Structure 1
Amino acid sequence: MKRAVFILLRNPLSVLGLALVGLVVLAAVFADYVAPFPDHKGAVVDFLNFNKAPEWPYLFGTDLVGRDILSRILFAYRISLTLGVVVLALAVPVGVTVGLIAGYIGGRTEFVLMRVTDVFLSIPPLVLAMSMMGLLEPSLTNGMMAVTVMWWPWYARLVYNLTRSEREEGYVLAAEVIGASRLHVMFREILPNCVPSILTKMTIDFGFVILIASSLSFLGLGVQPPTPDLGSMVAEGAKYLPDSWWLTVFPGLAILVVVFGFNLIGDALREILGVEQ
């Protein structure tokens, strides 16, 4: 723990990433209390203050129906973080299990599982998600499903490569000699040695999950109005550039902050855990 804190504090970028993510999480959790206009997260109309440039009390300006953009960004963070947690909570166990089985058992099992994984990896992630969302009704739940389907193969490939390099190590052979089952060897012996790489990838991927989800919303395939979402806010504001620049710039910066923060934390975690790039 002391070593981890030392490595974290000696790198200003790591501290910056931790601060950015911490602020985003706190803002999302306590959005009902810190947002200047909490009721603006829904279908609120205030034509007396519509399309206002940034000024007090609307620090980020207002949209075309008079809703405070700062308040909507804070609530959009809550949705984005929830989506990231759910997607990784579903995708990581599936990908890790597939990678462990393919890498340790080998043979026909390895061939079938990894060829299925390769099929998913051969399709550009955003295209795959768009294809799924084109068949489903645009919603937060369906968006989570679409992103999950495109995310598990990356963990399957990562854990597969790690397992292949670990299965000939002495501790694995020793476990096999004493009669340990395949499940025990995979999940009690090999998996703990894969955890540092998995955690590092999860931290970096968290930001990219939010970015992909925002891209789907930008195309109208994600969270639907009036629910605030960073991608849909950028898409709506892009129609009125450059005059009403605040409609796009501030939601875009909000996406940049969260993705940048998680990437910085991921780099710090890689150094702390000693994960090779």
Structure 2
Amino acid sequence: MADLRITGLAEEMSSLARMPWSKQLEEWPEDASLTDMRGISRHIVRLIKVNESHDSPIFAIKETVPEFANREYALLRELNNREAPCVEPVAVIENRTDKDGNELPAALVTHYLPFSLPYRVILSAEITPHEITNMANALALLLVRLHLLGFWWGDCSLSNTLFRRDADQFAAYLVDAETGEFQTRLTDGQREHDLEISLFNVAAELEDLKIAGVLTADMDPVRASEGVIKRYRRLWKALREPQILDPNDRHAVEGAMRQLQDLGFAVEEV
């Protein structure tokens, strides 16, 4: 472990250095209360408390290859710099070896988003059709925000999103940026590609839940996924189509500003 390399936030170095990086992540003990909070991932992921206190911060740790870990760390930093709704990166851990000197995967560490939950936990509880619609709206709004920043997600899905509840409303946050990339401005073709990926992923994820008996019999996964895309298109049209306003017509200007706020945007964002 002498060559262990930690690249990240200076204030977290002490906590990170004390973690058992010589063990494979799947062998790390995980608080039972955190298990359901991490959802499903193609990678090995663990949620780990930084200390033993009741209100301890929580790290989300994902094993991957060094190239992907560093790339995603940089993307998440840039997304945070641009105030995108996403998790905050903490560090990349490289040059890990076990006690016998065998190489272990690199790890990407992020801050767990407080009060957020993966979609499976939310949909497995009692939830109304209205709340499901609000989750779809939140995912559509997240994708619009990312596209406005010039970010092509490449793997938009419920699994790569965390949801934070506010009464019967939801806010959505990107949790996995591994496939993403920034462009100066996304082309219509790039946006449509992201929408196609989203349509397929969301429908497949909901179909899995329906087969498992989590969703009601009348829930159509394809129609629900199409609803996300329709909401995205309405948002994008409202934000990007030119509006001709008379600057001297105060009521018209205030009406346009209220419409942006109703859609979840501040005027300066668009």
TM range (shorter): under 0.3
Q: Which has the higher helix share?
A: 1
Q: TM-score, normalised by structure 1?
A: 0.24
Q: Which structure shows the bigger proportion of residues in strand conformation?
A: 2
TM-score by length of 2: 0.25
